[in-house]
Amino acid sequence: MIQPIQFLWKQLNGPQIVGITQAVFEWIKQSFDGILDYFKYFHISRATFSHLKVLGIINNLPLPILVKYQEAYFFFTYNKETSQERGFSSIEDRSHGGKFSSLQEHIKDEVEIDEATYRALLETVISGPYFNRSLCYLDKVCSTLKRTSPNASYEFIYDLRNPGSITIDIGYEGDWEDSNTVVAILNSLANSSYYPEPIIDVEVRSGDRPSTPSD
């Protein structure tokens, strides 16, 4: 990117001074050429992970954080569906059911979603002709997440009692390759692009989709 230039007056054309200035020029070129090329031809497909995070903040899609729990602890949930491993056990079978943790126990880790997924999301939301906070924008994000999960589906449910509020029903955990990542991304959108209104809730059912009896 850095083109050759003439540093000296034509009177100073001796071999030593020319050699020194040429060496300085080559050092500058080797040190900065790659960096300048990177920014001149900057694109999401070539951006570093750090720059992807900056682009995400600018476009109201900060890097989602995924919460991973260490063991099957007991959970109180917003939705009525709970898994056998994290809900109540039965009197007949106490092998299932979550356990209560102590205040000292470390029960969860917070990790960033993978770079490839985040890059694909940013390419979708930045290159599209739709407006941020629109339903089309939200649908495009869900469609992008569904690419790796052909059996998955999602549905937008409007709350008529609270106009503007939307529930995103993504079906069963087993329908998605990584339902935890999908939920983390949609919750991140709900808390950034769609905050404070409209209110976005994400609903997912635990386990696999029940099989339907064949005719």
Both 129 and 189 in one domain: the answer is: yes
Which pairing describes strands 108-112 and 166-172: parallel, antiparallel, or unpaired? unpaired
Average pLDDT over all residues of the chain:
78
- The 3-state DSSP class for residue 212 equals coil
Q: Any idea which residue has 């529930």 for tokens?
A: 167
- Give 128-142 pLDDT, tens digit per residue: 776 667 788 889 889
Per the rule left: phi > 0, alpha: psi between -120 and 50, beta: everything else, 173 is alpha
Q: Is residue 134 part of a domain?
A: yes
Task: Say how far apart CA 183 and CA 123 lie, in whole Å.
Answer: 19
Provide the residue range defining the domain that includes 140.
114-205
Distance of CA 140 to the CA centre of its chain: 14
Q: How many distinct structural domains can be found in the chain?
A: 2
pLDDT greater at residue 95 or residue 57:
57
Is residue 29 a part of any domain in this protein?
no
Question: Which percentage of the chain shows pLDDT scores above 70?
Answer: 73
Does 141 share its domain with 159?
yes
Q: Are residues 136 and 101 in the same domain?
A: no
Render pLDDT for 101-138 as a digit per residue (tens, 0 to 9): 766 666 677 888 889 989 988 888 887 776 667 788 88
Bridge partners for 167 per DSSP: 157, 201
Please indicate, yes or no, if residue 13 is contained in any of the structural domains. Answer: no
123 lies in the same domain as 182: yes
- 144-179 tens-digit pLDDT: 999 889 889 999 998 877 777 889 999 998 899 988
Residue 66 falls within a domain, yes or no? no
* 98 shares its domain with 135: no
Q: Is residue 43 part of a domain?
A: no
Kindly report each contact of residues 79-82 with a partner whose C-beta sits within 8 Å and lies 24 or more positions away, as own/partner: 79/203, 79/204, 79/205, 81/204, 81/205, 81/206, 82/206
Quickly tell me which residue has 């739709």 as its tokens: 130
Q: Is 26 a member of any domain?
A: no
What angle in degrees, to the nearest 10, is found between the helix axes of 135-145 and 115-127?
A: 150
Q: Is the pTM of this model over 0.75?
A: no
Q: Give per-residue pLDDT as tens, 192-209.
A: 777 667 788 888 887 788
Instruction: Tell me: do 122 and 194 sit in the same domain.
Output: yes
Alpha carbon of residue 119 to chain centroid? 8
Q: Is the pLDDT of residue 81 over 50?
A: no
